[in-house]
């Protein structure tokens, strides 16, 4: 119980830190959103002082209130789920945009991460078990795949599988306007159809890390004495591999799974850009392209929140898988 | 006992060969390949720009394939891809270098110093790095760079290292905690060595392999991160990196027009450099974790004992 409370406390602090970063970042960095926006407008014609006022009002930078007061107002707005209005998707509110795009990303990232984790851990187990086999020698190759830039691999796969052989759609989620996110078969089928190729690239470029980590832990675990004992007892190799070695070796991978979620969400931004997939990442890029600061802030918040949530979930799960973590705290 | 008895000669030989003779990793094929590839790419980045023409020079042979005069063909506006590649290599390696150094200092400071002194310092440093770890990096980088209109390569590198050091700090902290409690450190403390000396002379040398592998990882992530950022059009303006090359190649529809010589080389160089660094890291890993290096289950399997030897062993025991 104490462990869980500690974890909850930590995530509360992290959440608060993210909120604060989100608030102070625009106010501390040299670029002023109002100026950036006005200079964009100025390219199309003269800008009147009223326009400047309107932009300031829209972005909420029109107050002379001290930072602390603004900070409290910001926190108050957040807890009533008022994230402002999007400029890029005007007149939709930021909350609506997030609601529309989040399920797509979760569908894609969820599938891809789980597949990658399962494949990587399984292959890593086998590679560590039969050290020096062809599978084990494959590990440097998969590590090389991991250092291939995401988007580069994605574009080449897109060119080959989408352009030359036309197995998959060139840009994903085209019928986003016809399909509403939900639990209907329409949405799920659409996610699968448009998500396969992006998911494939994510799996290819991330499976190597899981494999290497699991393989190294397997090698370490296999040199433990209790494995020798198990062998001496004459247990079936299959049983030693799965219930004796792999079960203990997988623990760091499970912990790594949580940390990697952040990286996966990050990678999805690039992937979504390549496949023009209608998820959070595309929305974020669109927001950046259109200087849509409230949408940017809202999306960053959601991304942080989902990463924190996933981490918390895995942490809590971990305390059940590995009782030592509870005892240690 | 006799069943597990091994030939004493074999055991002694394997013990002798597995004993580390020096602090440097043994020159395995993996390490050699890694060093050669990484070394040649670094050399290309340092020396290449001196031997190629102006990467920005425009001429009227647009999208020409690799041929005489243009080693890797030309871009849409007739710029020499090979010249661009040389400058881009230098740019990307610079980012990698800056991020590597900054990550080294940041993670060593927050990871090692905190863990060594313990108490509230450790608590707060550890909390800080854990918070930094769970705040997603790339979205933050994208947002930061969207606020700064004119970005230099240095700024991109600094932003990448600010968002990327936390993982290394956590790893270093864990290892420092275990080193800190070893007997010889306690002995040094009792004998009245100054804390800074204990940290620098007694503890730090043990962490060198780990630091090295963390820095190598940081460099890979920095180069990949910069490439991703530039590819999204948010990288350093006005400088050549592998990422900006890919950005322009993609915007010039290089792949659709079949201009593979424009699109493939930058990505391939990133992949090769990353793979080379990963290979070097494998060798460092084997120093950090000796279990990865010697006496595996597989090698135990090869310890065969012939019938006559078994018989002789039984005789001697009886």
pLDDT of residue B5: 41
pLDDT of residue B298: 52
**Burial of A68 per CB tally in 10 Å (0-12, 13-18, 19+):** exposed
pLDDT of residue A238: 85
Residue B32 lies in a domain: no
Contact between B270 and A152 using a beta-carbon 8 Å cutoff = yes
Share of chain A above pLDDT 90, in %: 0
Contact between A150 and B224 using a beta-carbon 8 Å cutoff = yes
Give per-residue pLDDT as tens, A216-263: 888 888 878 888 888 888 888 888 888 888 888 887 787 777 767 666
Is the predicted pLDDT of residue A162 greater than 80, yes or no? no
User: Lowest mean pLDDT: which of A149-153, A267-271, B165-169, B303-307?
Assistant: B303-307
The mean pLDDT of A53-63, rounded to a whole number, is 66
Cα gap B121→A13, rounded to integer Å: 17
Distance, in angstroms, between B191 CA and closest chain A CA?
31
pTM: 0.76
Question: Would the CA dihedral through B62, B68, B73, B77 be positive or negative?
Answer: negative
| Confidence label for B69 from pLDDT (cuts 50, 70 and 90) | low
Number of Cβ pairs closer than 8 Å across A and B? 165
Between residues B313 and A31, which one has the greater pLDDT?
Answer: B313
Which B-chain residues 155-174 have CB contacts (< 8 A) with chain A? 167
Give per-residue pLDDT as tens, B78-109: 677 788 888 888 888 888 899 999 988 888 88
Residue B59 lies in a domain: no
pLDDT of residue A90: 64
Give per-residue pLDDT as tens, B120-153: 888 888 888 887 877 777 777 777 777 776 778 8
- Supply the CATH number for residue B197's domain: 1.10.3720.10
Residue B79 lies in a domain: yes
The mean pLDDT of B272-294, rounded to a whole number, is 76
pLDDT of residue A30: 62
Residue B183: asked if its preceding bond is cis (omega within 30°), the reply is: no
Cα gap A302→A315, rounded to integer Å: 20
Work out the mean pLDDT of chain A and round it to a whole number. 75
The first and second tokens of residue B166, run together, are 């936390």
Contact between B134 and A285 using a beta-carbon 8 Å cutoff = no
Contact between B147 and A308 using a beta-carbon 8 Å cutoff = no
Smallest Cβ–Cβ distance between A270 and the set B134, B231, B289 belongs to: B231
pLDDT of residue B19: 46
Distance, in angstroms, between A56 CA and closest chain B CA?
16
Residue B237 lies in a domain: yes
B263 touches chain A (CB under 8 A): yes
Do the Cβ atoms of A302 and A294 come closer than 8 Å? no
The mean pLDDT of A75-83, rounded to a whole number, is 74
Residues of A with CB below 8 A from B169's CB? none
Residue B306 lies in a domain: no
Is the predicted pLDDT of residue B15 greater than 50, yes or no? no
Query: Which chain A residue has the Cα nearest residue B296?
Result: A223
pLDDT of residue B70: 67
The mean pLDDT of A148-177, rounded to a whole number, is 67
- The whole domain housing B274 covers 39-54+70-286
Is the predicted pLDDT of residue B2 greater than 50, yes or no? no
Is the predicted pLDDT of residue B20 greater than 60, yes or no? no
pLDDT of residue A264: 63
ipTM of the complex, rounded to two decimals: 0.73
Give per-residue pLDDT as tens, B243-267: 888 888 877 776 777 677 778 888 8
Contact between A223 and B130 using a beta-carbon 8 Å cutoff = no
pLDDT of residue B230: 85
Give per-residue pLDDT as tens, B220-242: 888 888 888 888 877 777 788 88
Give per-residue pLDDT as tens, A33-52: 677 667 767 776 777 777 77
Contact between B296 and A131 using a beta-carbon 8 Å cutoff = yes
Give per-residue pLDDT as tens, B186-224: 888 888 888 888 888 888 887 887 888 888 888 888 888
pLDDT of residue A181: 53
pLDDT of residue B23: 54
pLDDT of residue A150: 76
Distance, in angstroms, between B193 CA and closest chain A CA?
31
Work out the mean pLDDT of chain B and round it to a whole number. 76
- Greatest alpha-carbon span in chain B: 91
Residue B108 lies in a domain: yes
Smallest Cβ–Cβ distance between A288 and the set B146, B220, B292 belongs to: B146
Do the Cβ atoms of A325 and A3 come closer than 8 Å? yes
Residue B130 lies in a domain: yes
Residue B2 lies in a domain: no
| Confidence label for B11 from pLDDT (cuts 50, 70 and 90) | very low
Which B-chain residues 124-153 have CB contacts (< 8 A) with chain A? 127, 130-131, 133-140, 142-144, 146-149
Cα gap A62→B270, rounded to integer Å: 45
Distance, in angstroms, between B138 CA and closest chain A CA?
5
Query: Which chain A residue has the Cα nearest residue B30?
Result: A140
Distance, in angstroms, between A194 CA and closest chain B CA?
21
Say how many domains are in chain B: 1
Which range of A117-121, A291-295, B64-68, B302-306 scores highest in mean pLDDT? It is: A117-121
B5 touches chain A (CB under 8 A): no
Smallest Cβ–Cβ distance between A149 and the set B130, B270, B292 belongs to: B270
Between residues B50 and B105, which one has the greater pLDDT?
Answer: B105
Is the predicted pLDDT of residue B49 greater than 70, yes or no? yes
């Amino acid at each position: 119980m104490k462990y869980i409370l500690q974890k909850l406390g930590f995530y509360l602090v992290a959440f608060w830190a993210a909120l604060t970063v989100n608030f102070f970042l625009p106010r501390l960095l040299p670029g002023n959103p109002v100026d950036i926006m006005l200079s964009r407008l100025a390219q199309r014609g003269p800008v009147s002082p009223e326009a400047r006022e309107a932009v300031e009002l829209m972005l909420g930078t029109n107050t002379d209130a001290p930072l602390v007061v603004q900070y409290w107002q910001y926190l108050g707005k957040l807890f009533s789920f008022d994230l402002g209005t999007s400029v890029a998707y005007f007149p939709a509110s930021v909350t609506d945009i997030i609601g529309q795009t989040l399920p797509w990303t979760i569908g894609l990232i969820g599938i891809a991460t789980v597949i990658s984790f399962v494949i990587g851990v399984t292959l890593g187990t086998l590679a560590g078990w039969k050290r020096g086999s062809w599978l084990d020698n494959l590990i440097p190759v998969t590590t090389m795949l991991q250092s291939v830039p995401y988007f580069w691999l994605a574009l080449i796969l897109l060119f080959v599988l989408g352009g030359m052989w036309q197995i998959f759609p060139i840009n994903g989620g085209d019928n986003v306007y016809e399909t509403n996110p939900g639990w209907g078969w329409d949405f799920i089928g659409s996610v699968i159809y448009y998500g396969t190729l992006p998911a494939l690239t994510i799996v290819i470029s991330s499976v190597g890390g899981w494999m290497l980590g699991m393989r190294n832990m397997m090698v370490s675990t296999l040199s433990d004495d209790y494995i020798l004992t198990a062998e001496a007892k004459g247990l079936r190799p299959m049983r030693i591999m799965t219930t004796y070695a792999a079960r203990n070796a997988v623990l760091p991978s499970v912990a790594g799974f949580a940390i990697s979620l952040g990286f996966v969400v990050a990678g999805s931004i690039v992937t979504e850009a390549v496949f023009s997939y209608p998820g959070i990442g595309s929305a974020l890029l669109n927001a950046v392209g259109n200087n849509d600061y409230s949408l940017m802030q809202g999306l960053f918040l959601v991304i942080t929140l989902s990463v924190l949530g996933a981490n918390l979930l895995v942490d809590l799960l971990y305390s059940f898988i590995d009782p030592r973590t509870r005892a240690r705290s | 006992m006799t069943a597990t008895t091994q030939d004493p000669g074999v055991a002694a030989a394997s013990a002798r060969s597995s004993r580390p003779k020096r602090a440097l990793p043994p020159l395995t094929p993996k390490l050699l390949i890694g060093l050669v590839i990484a070394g040649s790419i670094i050399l290309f980045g340092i020396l290449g720009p001196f031997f190629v023409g102006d990467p920005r020079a425009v001429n009227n042979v647009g999208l020409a394939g690799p041929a005489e005069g243009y080693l890797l063909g030309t871009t849409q506006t007739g710029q020499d891809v090979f010249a661009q590649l040389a400058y881009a290599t230098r740019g990307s390696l610079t980012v990698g270098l800056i991020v590597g150094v900054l990550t080294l200092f940041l993670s060593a400071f927050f990871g090692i110093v905190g863990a060594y002194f313990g108490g509230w310092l450790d608590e707060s440093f550890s909390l800080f790095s854990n918070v930094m770890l769970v705040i997603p990096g790339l979205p933050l980088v994208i947002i930061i760079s969207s606020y700064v209109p004119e970005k230099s390569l240095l700024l991109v590198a600094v932003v990448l290292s600010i968002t990327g050091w936390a993982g290394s700090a956590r790893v270093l902290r864990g290892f420092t905690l275990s080193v800190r409690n070893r007997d010889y450190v306690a002995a040094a403390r009792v004998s009245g060595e100054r804390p800074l000396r204990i940290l620098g002379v007694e503890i730090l040398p043990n962490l060198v392999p780990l630091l090295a592998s963390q820095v190598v990882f940081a460099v890979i992530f920095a180069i990949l991160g910069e490439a991703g950022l530039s590819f999204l059009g948010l990288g350093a303006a006005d400088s050549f990196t592998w990422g900006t090359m890919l950005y322009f190649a993609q915007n010039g529809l290089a792949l659709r027009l079949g201009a593979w010589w424009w699109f493939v080389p930058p990505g391939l160089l990133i992949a090769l450099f990353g793979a080379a660094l990963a290979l070097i890291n494998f060798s460092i890993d084997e120093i950090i974790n000796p279990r990865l290096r010697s006496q595996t289950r597989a090698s135990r399997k090869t310890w065969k004992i012939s019938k006559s030897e078994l018989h002789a062993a039984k005789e001697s025991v009886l």
